[in-house]
Structure 1
């Protein structure tokens, strides 16, 4: 049985997808062009990587067997791992410019509405990091208020979404914003 875990951050609904590694891969596939919407699938291979899925950057994915612009020789493959603690730091690690920065991100807990330093949600749903991305405008991302660990998950969780939602990987979970 699969149950979606819905978390609302600053009135932005975020669905966390946890589960067995194969379910994580398939959930990412469902939200990736040329994969789930084309009737294809992904699964966790024996090396711990999702079949055909690669990080495109800006928290986006691509599916190599079908997407002609998805070059698995230069892109990082998606991991099946599900050990996570959702935090501003984890979201930062999913944004290449934030991950590479010296300042990173953290939760500004003292703010009236606690937000992740420098992380914004653009109008198209993608996340960006203002200190490094010149075109980063949008709504500040409220701090995630959920802590999840693999050992605390007893039943797999998954979700589906519409094709206009953006998927973001956060250390092996998918954050759909």
Structure 2
């Protein structure tokens, strides 16, 4: 049985293949090269379902997708569902610069609490299921580390003293929002497909 991973983000493909690995059993996770749908949902869950539905419709195969981002308390939860295009496009460096500038504009001593959210969606015919997980932490005042992607260089996860970009892939995959969401989703995928 084949399962489509509905993303064009190569980082996510590699991360999810690592996260899910052998736990997929006889399910083969394949990449998606179809059109990107318009993500106009107002929640991470809605956008994850939009992507999974589009990939399932385009390929005729069951699909999984995620929508994820960072929410900063002092910024009213921004960038939230707009994380990927916070600065107007999909440029990680520009997104980081804008977030740091917006936090700095609030002055010294501002609450830097933040969390990553991941909504993982599964679509197979009429069957749809979504799991949502969070990864709490705080926003660092400047970048640290070169690993990971997205907002990892400025995210300090609770319980560690380095940025998400300074964690090894194995360390990050043991605790991240994406790992938790897809781990929660996996039983539904396996029950539907195996």
Structure 1 length-normalised TM? 0.26
* Greater fraction of residues in strand: 1
Relative contact order (alpha carbons < 8 A, sep ≥ 6): 1 or 2 greater? Answer: 1
Kindly indicate which of the two structures has a greater share of residues assigned to helix.
2
Larger radius of gyration: 2
